[in-house]
Amino acid sequence: MGKKSRKFILAGLIAALVLSGFVGWMWGGEMKLAASRKAELLEASKEYRSFKHEVLFPLKMEAAEVRIRLEEARRLGDAQGVKRTETELAASLAELKKAEGEAARLHENKVRAEAAFRGASAAWYGFYRITGFSGKLFLNLLNLLVIPLVVSSLVTGMVSLGDIRHVGRTGLRTVIYYIATTSIAVIIGIALVEVISPGSGVEGASAVAGSVQGKEEMGILDTVLRVFVDEHDGARGAFPRNIVKAMAEMNVLGVIVFSMLFGAALTTVGERASTVISFFEGLNEVILRLVHWVLHLLPVGVFGLVVERLTDVGGGAAVWKEVTRLGWYGATVTSGLAIHGVVVLPLILFIFTGRNPLRYAAGMLRALLTAFATASSSATLPTTMECVEEENRVSRRASSFVLPLGATINMDGTALYEAVAAIFIAQVYSIPMDATMLVIVFLTATLAAVGAAGIPEAGLVTMVMVLNATGLPLEGIAILLSIDWLLDRFRTTVNVWGDSVGAAVVDSFEARESGGTAQ
């Protein structure tokens, strides 16, 4: 992609974020009301049609049949039959009259729903559906490319690393970086939540959130084992039973493990693997070209995603109500993320690579804004790889290995959030947290961030794991859900930023080892 195209897309992305935020904030309530009225209209129409076909029409047919029998009895002069049939007809007509009254009521409800939906509501609903469609289309296109991109980039990345012992060194550096930055993030979160104490004075929830029910018994050991092998779902975990099904169900961790093993095996086969290697190198180039095409839709897709999200919440008034209710909690999480993303990660980048953090962040801007809009590290992966390689000149050999792995297991923002949320819940319910409890929070939140990789609904499951480990009430999760969707965008942005810094750090070590210099 040319430099002008990248600048054009970045400008469009910034404009889309600003405009979509304004539209969603100002008119999200109207669009949500319009969607609600459309749902009421569909329900009223469905109820009316169903009653007509399943109740009213059969009763009319039954009454007509009784009339035919009555005429037949009269023609035959059957006095007893006439009397019996007249009684049956009267009962049938009474039931039919009652049903017609109910049908009239349902029809009136349908007419009222149609009247409520006309005019401005219909226009807002049309706008909401079109923008929502554009966002879903863009997100589907990104997700469509994730698995092929992970496979092709990891296989070619493993082959380019050469000797399998070199692969081990690169993998070890990557894992050490991810564990170190995740640990630092958790420490920052614990320190801030202890100092600010955002849970003081917040009213606790009395019931476990519906989205958490059924996950109450998730323990540390069970969760860790599920990361590797999921006994309940053969397509999940790092080692799925069926790799094709794993790809179909977007089990990125399983695909990463398979691709790394496949690429490592290719390095040991020798000349006979050259055809396979050429195929994957060509496939990688084709997928990257598709990524370039899809990224031209980035501003339109982001606009649709943000407008739809703000509409589903209820617009600016509803967002502001929840933000003010949990303002100190949200401020604690975002402050921790800001310290980690603006201070810690840039320092690591500068110390280990000598790069200018501001210049590097500017090169990553498209990926960071995409992460904020989609709230998905995996969906952002194509953009992240392009920004790291083309804008910041990190070698493809490093980025193709580090970034797919990071998008799955490097969750600095998530780890920080888990630690803050757990201690916040303890403060809400006035449960003292001694040093031992804080150490447990540190260990489980760090482990949860890595363990989130192969688990559906990872954030909720890992939060349950942290709360169970510390003996804190699961009911507290219900307090957080109202603004979790917003904080999720901030922590995903930090996750992606951490991945990109990791790629530069590993690339710098690789360049020194090979006798060159990091770009």
**Kindly report the CA angle at 125 between 121 and 127, in degrees rounded to 5?**
120
Confidence band for 8, pLDDT divided at 50, 70 and 90: confident
- 334-338, 339-343, 515-519: range with lowest mean pLDDT: 515-519
Helix and strand numbers, DSSP H then E, in the chain: 21, 0
The answer to the question of residue 342 being in a domain is yes
d(CA 494, CA 413): 6
HSE of 359, CA atoms in CB hemisphere, 13 A: 10
User: Does 183 lie in the same domain as 148?
Assistant: yes
Instruction: State both tokens at 148.
Output: 């092929």
Mean pLDDT, to the nearest integer, of 252-277?
84
d(CA 372, CA 369): 5
Write down the pLDDT at residue 416.
92
Nearest to 411 by CA among 494, 502, 505: 494
**Model pLDDT for residues 432-477, shown as the tens digit of each residue:** 888 878 888 888 787 766 655 544 345 656 677 778 777 788 777 7
Residue 78, classed as helix, strand or coil, is coil
Characterize 68-107 residue by residue with b for buried, 16 or more Cβ atoms within 10 angstroms of its Cβ, and e for exposed.
Answer: ebbeebeeeeeeeebeebeebbeebeeebeebeeebeebe
**Model pLDDT for residues 11-60, shown as the tens digit of each residue:** 888 888 889 888 988 988 889 999 999 999 999 999 999 999 999 899 88
Write down the pLDDT at residue 282.
92
The answer to the question of residue 518 being in a domain is no
Q: How many Cβ atoms sit within 10 Å of the Cβ of residue 458? A: 17
- Does residue 482 carry a pLDDT above 80? no
**Model pLDDT for residues 102-125, shown as the tens digit of each residue:** 999 999 999 999 888 887 788 899
Confidence band for 272, pLDDT divided at 50, 70 and 90: confident
Which of 118, 138, 156 terminates a domain? The answer is 118
The total number of structural domains that make up the chain: 2
Mean pLDDT, to the nearest integer, of 285-305?
87
**Model pLDDT for residues 191-240, shown as the tens digit of each residue:** 999 999 888 766 654 444 444 444 445 555 666 666 677 777 777 777 88
Domain that holds residue 321: 126-513
Mean pLDDT, to the nearest integer, of 253-280?
85
Long-range contact set of residues 362-367: C-beta below 8 Å, sequence gap at least 24: 362/391, 363/387, 363/388, 363/391, 363/392, 364/388, 364/391, 364/392, 364/496, 364/497, 364/500, 365/10, 366/6, 366/9, 366/10, 366/13, 366/295, 366/298, 366/391, 367/496, 367/500
User: Does 344 lie in the same domain as 202?
Assistant: yes
d(CA 114, CA 507): 61
The answer to the question of residue 214 being in a domain is yes
The answer to the question of residue 133 being in a domain is yes
User: Does 233 lie in the same domain as 89?
Assistant: no
Q: Are the CB atoms for 388 and 403 separated by under 8 Å? A: yes
User: Does 421 lie in the same domain as 360?
Assistant: yes
The answer to the question of residue 519 being in a domain is no
User: Does 395 lie in the same domain as 327?
Assistant: yes
49 or 8: which leads in pLDDT? 49
- Does residue 414 carry a pLDDT above 90? no
Q: Are the CB atoms for 413 and 446 separated by under 8 Å? A: no
Write down the pLDDT at residue 293.
87
CA 40 to chain CA centroid, Å, is: 28
- 35-44, 82-91, 402-411, 478-487: range with lowest mean pLDDT: 478-487
Long-range contact set of residues 392-396: C-beta below 8 Å, sequence gap at least 24: 392/355, 392/360, 392/363, 392/364, 392/500, 392/504, 393/519, 394/503, 394/504, 394/507, 394/519, 395/507, 395/510, 395/511, 395/519, 396/153, 396/156, 396/157, 396/160
HSE of 453, CA atoms in CB hemisphere, 13 A: 26
User: Does 179 lie in the same domain as 282?
Assistant: yes
Which of 75, 92, 118 terminates a domain? The answer is 118
Which of 97, 118, 139 terminates a domain? The answer is 118
Nearest to 416 by CA among 308, 344, 509, 507: 344
- Does residue 494 carry a pLDDT above 80? yes
Mean pLDDT, to the nearest integer, of 497-504?
95
Instruction: State both tokens at 476.
Output: 């507290």
The answer to the question of residue 289 being in a domain is yes
User: Does 91 lie in the same domain as 130?
Assistant: no
CA distances (Å), 454 to each of 114, 237, 240, 242, in order?
Answer: 46, 5, 10, 15
Residue 209, classed as helix, strand or coil, is coil
User: Does 348 lie in the same domain as 200?
Assistant: yes
